[in-house]
Structure formats: structure tokens, C-alpha cells
Amino acid sequence: MNNIIQLLIYGLQLGSVYALVSLGYTMVYGIVRLINSAHGDYLMLGAYTAFYVSLLNGNNLILCLLGAMIASGLIAMLSDQLAFKPVREQPKFSSLVTALGVSLFIQNLSRALPFIGPIPKPFPTLITKKLYNILDITVSSTQILMIIIALILLFLLTYIVNNTKIGRAMRAVSLDRDASALMGVDINKTITITFFIGGFLAGAGGVFYGIMYPTIDVSIGSLLGNKAFIAAVIGGIGNLNGAMIGGILMGVIEIFATSINADIGFGVFYLILIIILIFKPAGLFGKLTNEKV
């Protein structure tokens, strides 16, 4: 029993990172119907930004987090302006391939940049580790803090989307882009802000990733982005609550499956994805809509 709770805590910790990344996926998909495979790479750049912020300013969690989030947000915005905007009116296939290209470009450019490079770097210790033993269950200060910060960010995002003007614009664009344009919503501005927020969350995910697995290299984003995408699909892509729950679910399932058998731990994602898509093709929380072609 203790073990189950212990594994659950690890799962929540991992799941909170997945949730942050899959939210970005889901938001961008909701607004521009684009599966942005470069999303994981924003996370990687965020982790490297935090690395350099800590090098310049010492191990300050808040500064690193802010630096990483803003940098990732700006890079997401920039990649939208430079790569996705020109193909926005093209068939969807173009933007899908563009996203793959952006992802490869970011990874390989980073590998070539002298201050990032191909050799892994040690991520600084941003949170002083303290272990608490409650009834045989070990909880670390890192886990508590990470889960709390993730919850704050998720709450903030929900608030922005549901209770602000830009949030309303985002929901409107997601529902019907042409109609919202007619109603006076600035589509381009909304899309830019969506990309920024998506990158912003991925940046936080990057810092969390670095704290959890303190070895960072240029490819950390690709696998994590992949898992987060599955989480978003399971939750119902385009649906914010779905992405959050999907992410946390993925984290918990991964840890439990690994504890049963290391080989299942990885494949189980895809199995769950297939099962959910068979019974609920739109994901757990998604609504099935007829795509207008």
C-alpha cells in the first residue's frame, strides 16, 4: 500500500511536467489546428536558458523559471512568425511538415551552437533537496514544490482562458476562426499570444525536467514532446482540462507500468492511446466535430 502511494507521488511529479507540455500542444491545436512537433524543442531551449540564467545569477528558482518561460515563449512566437504564418493558408499538410522541419532545425542548430553543443550539460540544483518521511513514504521538497508550481500555472492558464478578454478571443477563434474575424477579433494577435503561452508553459516544463533529470541535451524535447502529444490526444486534443488530466494520467501510468515491467513502461502509452481512440475517438474530453474540408 505504501508503495502504491509512493509510486503515485512519483507519477504525479512526472505527470505535472507532461501536463505543462501537453497544454501547449492542445492550445496551439485548438486555435490553428496545427500539431506542432517543435513544441518539445521549446522545452529544451527553456531548459538551456535556465542553465545559463543560473550560471549568471546563481541558483535562483524563480529567476530561472521566469527566464526559461519567457525565452521559450518568445522562441515559440518567433517560430510561428517565421515558419507557420507563411503557410497558414496552405493545406494543413504543409504546416505539419513545416513543424517537423522546425523541430529538426531547432535541435540541429542547437547542436551546432557552441554554447549548447552536442555534449550533455549538468542542470544546476535549483531546489535544495530535503527528504520527508511520512509513514514510510519518502517525499522530497522538490516533488512538493514542482507539483505546487505546476498547479499554480495550470490554474493561471484556466483563469486566462475563461475570464479574460484574450481568453475569450482564443475560445472564439478555436470555435470558428472566420466568424470571430468578422466579429472583430484580431486573429493574428490571438494566434501569436497562444504560441507565446504554449511556449511559456513548455519553458516551465523544461525547468522541471532539468530539476527531475539533471542532465540536459538537445534531444530531451523530442521524446517528451511525443509523450505530451499522446497525453493531449488522450485527453481530447483542443481541450485544456483534457490535456491536464491526460498529462497527469500518463505520468502515473508510466511509473506504475515501469514498476511492473520496464519494457511495458514505454509501450503502454501507445496501447492506452489505441484503446481510448477505439472507444472514444475524440479522446476522453473531446467533442467529435465534423471537420469542414
Partner 1 sequence: MKKYMFLALVLIMAFASVMAVSANETLKIGLCQPITGSMAMSGLYSTHGVQLAIDQINEAGGLQVGDKTYDLELLIEDNEGKPDITINAVSKLISDGVVAIVGTNSSSTSMAGGPIATSEKVVMVSTTGTNPDVTQVGGEYMFRSCWIDSYQGYLAAKLAYETLGKRRAAILYNNADDYSTGIMDFFVKSFEEMGGETFVQAYAGAEIKDFKAQITAFKDWEPDVIFIEAQAAELPLPTQQIRELGMDTQIVGAASWDNELLTQLTPKEDLEGIIYVTTFCADSDEPKAKEFVEAYKAKWDGELPMNQATMSYNAMRIIAQALQDCGKVDDPEAFRDAMAAVNMELPNGHFEYDENRDPQISGVLMTFRDGVGVYYGEIGN
Residues lying near partner 1 in the complex (CB under 8 A)? 3, 6-7, 10, 14, 119-122, 125, 129, 131, 133, 138, 140, 142, 212-215, 223, 254-256, 258-259, 262-263, 265-266
Residues 6+ apart with CB under 8 A from 104: none
Q: Of 158 and 226, which CB lies nearer to partner 1 in the complex structure?
A: 226
Between residues 4 and 179, which has the closer beta carbon with respect to partner 1? 4
Alpha-carbon distance of 3 to 210, in angstroms, equals 25
Tell me the closest approach of the beta carbon of residue 75 to partner 1, in angstroms: 23
Give min distance, CB of 67 to partner 1, in A: 22
**Looking at beta carbons only, is 11 or 283 nearer to partner 1?**
11
Q: Indicate the residue among 14 and 240 with the shorter CB distance to partner 1.
A: 14
Q: How far is the CB of 215 from partner 1 (least distance, A)?
A: 5
State the SS3 of the chain: CHHHHHHHHHHHHHHHHHHHHHHHHHHHHHHHCCCCCCHHHHHHHHHHHHHHHHHHHCCCHHHHHHHHHHHHHHHHHHHHHHHHHHHCCCCHHHHHHHHHHHHHHHHHHHHHCCCCCCCCEECCCCCCCCEEEECCEEEEHHHHHHHHHHHHHHHHHHHHHHHCHHHHHHHHHHHCHHHHHHCCCCHHHHHHHHHHHHHHHHHHHHHHHHHHCCEECCCHHHHHHHHHHHHHHHHCCCCHHHHHHHHHHHHHHHHHHHHHCCCHHHHHHHHHHHHHHHHCCCCCCCCCCCCCC
Residue 126 Cβ, how far from partner 1 at the closest point, in Å?
13
Least Å distance, CB 10 to partner 1, is 4
Smallest separation, CB 91 to partner 1 (Å): 33
Cell of 86: 507563411
d(CA 88, CA 211): 36
- Quick one: 136 or 176, whose CB is closer to partner 1? 136
How remote is the C-alpha of 94 from its chain's centroid?
Answer: 23
State the minimum distance, in angstroms, from the CB of residue 290 to partner 1. 38
C-alpha cell at 270: 501507445
| CB nearer partner 1, residue 74 or residue 253 | 253
Which residue, 129 or 189, has its beta carbon nearer to partner 1?
129
Residue 11 or 236: which CB sits closer to partner 1? 11
Q: Give the nearest distance from C-beta 134 to partner 1 in angstroms.
A: 12
Look at residues 188, 190, 189, 194 and name the one whose alpha carbon lies nearest to residue 157: 194
